Structure 1
Amino acid sequence: MPGGSLNDSRELVAGHFQILKDKQRAIRHDFPDGLALRVHRAISWLGRAEAEHDDDDLRFILLWVGFNSAYASEVKSEIIGERGIFGAFFETLVALDADRRIYNAVWQRFSQEIRLLLSNKYVFQPFWNHHNGMPGHENWADRLASSQRSIAAAMGKQDTARILSLMFDRLYVLRNQLVHGGATWNSKVNRDQVRDGASVLGFLLPVFIDIMMDNSGHNWGLPFYPVVD
């Protein structure tokens, strides 16, 4: 990989921006326009996120924007609908991940953080639907237990794409809390999920971008909000 490698899981996230930027400059002439724009935007947001060392809230938001730039899908308000869209994206990334970097991140490096996020009721949307008085969500605890059984089954099969989809469901709730003003900046009540979410996303986003660049022949689709005159 020109400019360096992302294969060494011991690398600090702070080094990913320059490695990816150097690689992009070296091979971008082969990129379709849609992929070129996605990668350019995602790397720009990753670089800003890596420069943010002291503010986990801001770092998480910046990383999410970078993820959405790479993913280039209109974010929907329905979590279940988003799960299906995320699922296809993650299945593609996992299938193209020849070095199993995503697999190693999910099952080794961040296994504890992911388990905590998946069991945290504060990033489980039915919990908030119930507390916001929405009818039909009184059984949120049963739904969370059912979700945990689904998670356990996916973990038993080491279904990486499925675990990613479930985890990003939770991160999407966290994203909504922050972006829509449902949390206080630097609040003590949500530090664990913000910190863990930023750590996991900060590691995975560079890997996602790298895989996309390595597979420029794949049809990644057209980005939303293209550059126009």
Structure 2
Amino acid sequence: MDHQALKTRHRQEREGHHPNLTLRVHRALSWLNRAEQEDDLDGRFIFLWIAFNSAYATDIDEQFRLSEQSTFKAFLDKLCALDTANLIENLVWSEFSGSIRALLDNPYVFQSFWDNQNGKISEQQWTERFASGRRTAQQALANRNTAAVLGVLFNRIYTLRNQVMHGGATWNSSVNRDQLRDCANLLAKLVPVIILLMLDNPETLWGDACYPVVA
């Protein structure tokens, strides 16, 4: 399922969808389209993250606003609950021996590793947390708890997102190619599934989209 197939379906069905869903999907598809055209790995990862962000971000009152990680975790939990065809679970299993295992084994996308580098926690603390995170993911996989697996994975992807978006990495750097490749490959397969599930469930409450279009 690529951008063009999803876009065609969206055009056919959007008149019957809530405007918030229509706007979310339209924005996510636009960034997915850009990502599919991008040869530069850094750019591809950024465009795919924005596509994901377009799908999950919600405009809510400041006093009730969750952290960004909590927000996208709740979004992923909702998607997994709606995924009666097990599209996400099948993707997780098919990708486990590739990009998922690589991300779980890569300390450079684990925030506690950097907290240790910056003197915030000890080496023992970060290594224990790293091992615990891997055990959590392995246990979740064994229990077929796809939402929990995604929660661990997206914590890793979010660390890389912060590095890139906040200027903590050099463009086209040789030191982060592996994690950029693995994160981009996973997002490239997951984002279309996310959009598909949103289209399959138009009656679900997806929330108000951020920054509504102003005529």
TM-score normalised by length of structure 2: 0.91
Q: Distance in 1 between matches of 2:114 and 2:162?
A: 12
Structure 2 counterpart of 1:63, from 48, 51, 54: 48
1:175 aligns with 2:153: no
Q: Can you list the C-alpha shifts for 1:192-217, whole angstroms capped at 9, x where unaligned?
A: 11001101100110110011011100
Maintained 8 Å contact 1:176/1:182: yes
Find the residue that maps to 1:139 and give its secondary structure: helix
Q: How far 1:180 moved relative to its partner?
A: 0.9
The change in CA–CA distance for 1:166 and 1:83 in structure 2 (over 3 A counts) is farther
Q: In the alignment, which residue of structure 2 is the partner of 1:157?
A: 143
Q: Distance in 2 between matches of 1:118 and 1:209?
A: 25
Q: Distance in 1 between matches of 2:95 and 2:154?
A: 17
Q: Distance in 2 between matches of 1:110 and 1:152?
A: 10
Maintained 8 Å contact 1:90/1:161: yes
Find the residue that maps to 2:158 and give its secondary structure: helix
Q: Can you list the C-alpha shifts for 1:132-175, whole angstroms capped at 9, x where unaligned?
A: 22256761111111112212211210211111111010000001
Tell me which protein shows more helix as a share of its residues. 2
Q: How far 1:86 moved relative to its partner?
A: 2.6
Q: In the alignment, which residue of structure 2 is the partner of 1:109?
A: 95
The change in CA–CA distance for 1:26 and 1:101 in structure 2 (over 3 A counts) is same
1:119 aligns with 2:132: no
Q: Distance in 2 between matches of 1:146 and 1:99?
A: 30
Q: Can you list the C-alpha shifts for 1:71-95, whole angstroms capped at 9, x where unaligned?
A: 1247xxxxx9444333321121112
TM-score normalised by length of structure 1: 0.86
Maintained 8 Å contact 1:46/1:62: yes
- What stretches of structure 1 of length at least 5 have no aligned partner? 1-5, 7-15, 75-79
Q: How far 1:62 moved relative to its partner?
A: 0.3
